[in-house]
Structure 1
Amino acid sequence: MTLIPRPFRTARVAALLLGGGVLLGACAQPGQLGQPVPAAPAAPAAAPVAVPAPVPATVEPAAGTVDSKVTIRTPGPAVYAVRTVVLAPGETQEWHRHPGTETVIVRRGAVTLGREGGCTPARFGEGEALFVGDAVPHRLANDGTAPAELVVTTLLAPGVPDSEDVSSPCPED
């Protein structure tokens, strides 16, 4: 066996170790063997999540027959609104008037209507409708034992209060 002098042997071992280190270093994954961890790639922008459109609430149709001829005129623009009103048994609205017209469909129960020029209250039941002309003082009352559900439609002057309280036009009130 041939002996290699010590300084050469040390150099050879160092070269082998260095070569192995370079080889291993080249195979190492980021973060191993002291290699820096690259910055995480920017996450792709998340695709917008499709939000399903809200399912409209089922609207129960309401229809009623008005007891007389109806004429509606507005002097200019008007605000059209539809809402549901429930009058509890025994509940009565105060006398009031609107800056426009009101049509009421009785969906459930019954109400009585008192209005200027007709102080004897008129009764309206399910499937019937009533019309109150522009600025006519009136009031509705539920004199029954069950709630009265009403679909109230108004056509009112814009920018003014929806209604104003008035004194009773009927002498017996």
Structure 2
Amino acid sequence: MPVGRTGRVGRVVTGFAFVLALAGCAQPGQLGHPAPAPEAAPAAPDAAPITAASAPAGPQTVGRGVVDVPLRFRTPAPADYAVRTLDLAPGAALGWETHPGTELTLLAAGQAAVQEAGACAPRVLAPGEVAAVGEGVAHVVRNTGTAPARLVVTTFLAQGVPEATQVPPACPEEPPAAAPAP
């Protein structure tokens, strides 16, 4: 029986959640985490060892919700992916950029907004929400709060190309003032 559009989106979102869960649990040498070099020095003696009391009890959900745009992950060849966390200081921005693939940015903590070319009104994210940005779409992510914002950024990119290209701002920093009423 053919799978409908909703089924494909559900599988993509489920797959994204699975990647996030595994990425947080992966050990060196798994899921793209490089194994330590043989000559790597041992951990600093003052580093606290992970004990059963300090380790998380199991997989933890960072966010859950609905992606408000249709998603299509289709690549002509194998694609590279990366899942990373990023902390943005209050008022900081990542800068306007594009990607040769799809980017999913989940706000794990704090306050942030995403602004995209063609839809310059900032899209405010609540903790646990995700913004999906398509291939080649100029965008910027800003911390709009007074505390650090923690982002979990997942990218699915064409192989062998730069991860991001910096571009000039596609929207004004401040929305233009409304014209006075006649």
Q: Same fold (TM over 0.5)?
A: yes
Q: Who is 1:155 aligned against?
A: 156
- What letter matches 2:137 in structure 1? V
Q: Who is 2:63 aligned against?
A: 63
- What letter matches 1:166 in structure 2? V
CA contact (8 A) 2:117 2:138 kept: yes
CA offsets per residue over residues 89-115 of structure 1, 9 Å max, x none? 110111001111000111101211000
Q: What is the root-mean-square deviation in Å for CA atoms of aligned residues?
A: 1.8
Q: Distance in 1 between matches of 2:111 and 2:60?
A: 18
Q: Who is 2:134 aligned against?
A: 133
Q: Who is 2:166 aligned against?
A: 165
Q: Distance in 1 between matches of 2:85 and 2:61?
A: 12
Unaligned runs of 5+ in 2: 1-49, 174-182
Report the alpha carbon displacement of residue 60 of structure 1 after superposing the two structures with TM: 4.1
- What letter matches 1:120 in structure 2? A
Unaligned runs of 5+ in 1: 1-53
- What letter matches 1:129 in structure 2? V
Report the alpha carbon displacement of residue 167 of structure 1 after superposing the two structures with TM: 1.2
Q: Who is 1:85 aligned against?
A: 86
CA contact (8 A) 1:85 1:152 kept: yes
CA contact (8 A) 1:64 1:105 kept: no
CA contact (8 A) 1:64 1:106 kept: no
Q: Distance in 1 between matches of 2:144 and 2:106?
A: 17
Q: Who is 1:107 aligned against?
A: 108
How many residues matched? 118
Between the aligned residues of both structures, percent identity stands at 43
Report the alpha carbon displacement of residue 118 of structure 1 after superposing the two structures with TM: 0.9
